[in-house]
């Protein structure tokens, strides 16, 4: 939806109280945040946009990476809300490879693979999903090791 449509619906329909904004269009995000009605929540729908989104006045993020790295991502968001964008940016840059890799194959295949590698869930995928490809699984393991989310012998 365009920013104009979101804002019109937010004004005209009281049951619409917020939006998960995942357009990837920062101009659209700014337009919605600048002109939204009072009490209309706007959440980032993309982990990599959480920092700039909150800096622009967004209300938070609906996250994928929080399943894999809840403490780190929570710290990033809390630093943003505290206005400590230097610390938030450090964590953002640390997590960015995982944020991007989470979409190397159809969502939620990579995050489920990561959680299985981390031994948080069973390594079971139901159709229509298929397992993460072997080459991507190897890369996922390297990324998780780099974030200390798994040990070197896992």
Q: Over the stretch 12-37, which tens digit does the pLDDT of each residue have?
A: 999 999 999 999 899 999 999 999 99
Average pLDDT over residues 58-66: 97
Give the C-alpha separation, 10 to 91, whole Å.
33
Q: What is the pLDDT of residue 42?
A: 97
**Cα–Cα distances in Å, from 71 out to 78, 80, 117?**
10, 14, 18
Q: What is the pLDDT of residue 151?
A: 83
- Percent of the chain surpassing pLDDT 90: 94
- Residue 71: pLDDT over 70: yes
Cβ–Cβ < 8 Å for 96, 48: yes
Average pLDDT, the chain: 95
Question: For residue 114, which phi and psi values (nearest 5 degrees)?
Answer: -60, -45
Q: What is the pLDDT of residue 25?
A: 93
Q: Assign 154 a pLDDT band (cuts: 50, 70, 90).
A: low
Q: What is the pLDDT of residue 95?
A: 98
**Model's pTM, two decimal places?**
0.89
């Amino acid at each position: 939806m365009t920013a104009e449509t979101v804002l019109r619906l937010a004004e005209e329909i009281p049951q619409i109280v917020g939006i998960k904004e995942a357009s990837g269009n920062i101009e659209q995000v700014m337009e919605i945040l600048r002109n939204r009605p009072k009490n209309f929540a706007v959440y980032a729908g993309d982990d990599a946009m959480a920092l700039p989104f909150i800096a622009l006045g967004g209300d938070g993020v609906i996250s994928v990476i929080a399943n894999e790295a809840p403490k780190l991502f929570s710290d990033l968001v809390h630093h943003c809300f505290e206005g400590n964008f230097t610390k938030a940016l450090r964590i953002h840059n640390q997590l960015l490879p995982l944020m991007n890799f989470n979409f190397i194959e159809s969502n939620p295949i990579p995050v489920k693979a990561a959680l299985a590698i981390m031994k948080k869930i069973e390594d079971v995928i139901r159709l229509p999903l298929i397992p993460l490809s072997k080459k991507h699984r190897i890369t996922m393991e390297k990324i998780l090791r780099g974030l200390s989310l798994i040990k070197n012998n896992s």
